[in-house]
C-alpha cells in the first residue's frame, strides 16, 4: 500500500485516500486493474527519461491514461507493450512543468472495469548527507558539544 498505509484519520474518521477506499469498495463487486506502483519519480534536474510500470490487469483491459480532463495520447504520451506501460520523456517533461518538489501531476489509468488507478508524478532530489555534529567547540557556544 505504500504511502497510503494509514487509510483513515482516526480523529475525524475520514478517509485520507479516497482512491484507496474506492478500490476497496469496487472490489466487493468487480475487479479493478492496477499497476506495479502508484508513483513515478522524476529528478529535480537533468534529463527526464521514459518511466515504465507493469500493469496488473486482473481480467480487465487497459483503456488509457488521463490527466485531469485530458486523455493522453497512446504512441505520443505513452506506449503499452504486453503488460508494460511506458510514459514517454516528452509527456513526463510536460507533466512535470517547472519540476517543483512533490507531486506535479496525478494521472488516472483507466480499465474496462472497476475504478481508475491513480499514478502520481513526483519530482525529487537526491538527499545530501552531512555530519550533524561539530568536531570542535566554540568558546562562545551556549550549547557546548558534550565530551
pLDDT tens sequence across 65-97 = 999 999 999 999 999 999 999 999 999 999 999
Tell me which of 45-54, 84-93, 138-147 is least confident: 138-147
DSSP labels, the chain: -GGGSS-EETTTTEES-HHHHHHHHHHTTS---EES-SEEEEESSS----EEEEEE-TT--EEEEEETTEEPPBTTTEEEETTEEEE-HHHHHHHHTT--SEEEEEEEEEESSSPPEEEEEEEE-------SS-SS--TT-SSPPP-
Instruction: State pLDDT tens for residues 92-142.
Output: 999 999 999 999 999 999 999 989 999 999 999 988 887 766 566 666 666
Amino acid at each position: 500500500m505504500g504511502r497510503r498505509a494509514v487509510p483513515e484519520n482516526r480523529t475525524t474518521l475520514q478517509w485520507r485516500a479516497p482512491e484507496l477506499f474506492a478500490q476497496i469498495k469496487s472490489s466487493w463487486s468487480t475487479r479493478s486493474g492496477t499497476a506495479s506502483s502508484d508513483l513515478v519519480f522524476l529528478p529535480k534536474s537533468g534529463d527526464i527519461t521514459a518511466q515504465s510500470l507493469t500493469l496488473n490487469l486482473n481480467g480487465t483491459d487497459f483503456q488509457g491514461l488521463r490527466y485531469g480532463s485530458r486523455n493522453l495520447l497512446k504512441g505520443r504520451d505513452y506506449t503499452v507493450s504486453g503488460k508494460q506501460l511506458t510514459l514517454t520523456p516528452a509527456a513526463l517533461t510536460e507533466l512535470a512543468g517547472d519540476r517543483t518538489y512533490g507531486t506535479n501531476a496525478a494521472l488516472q489509468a483507466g480499465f474496462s472495469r472497476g475504478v481508475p488507478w491513480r499514478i502520481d508524478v513526483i519530482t525529487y532530489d537526491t538527499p545530501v548527507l552531512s555530519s550533524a555534529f561539530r568536531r570542535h567547540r566554540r568558546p562562545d557556544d551556549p550549547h557546548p558539544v558534550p565530551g
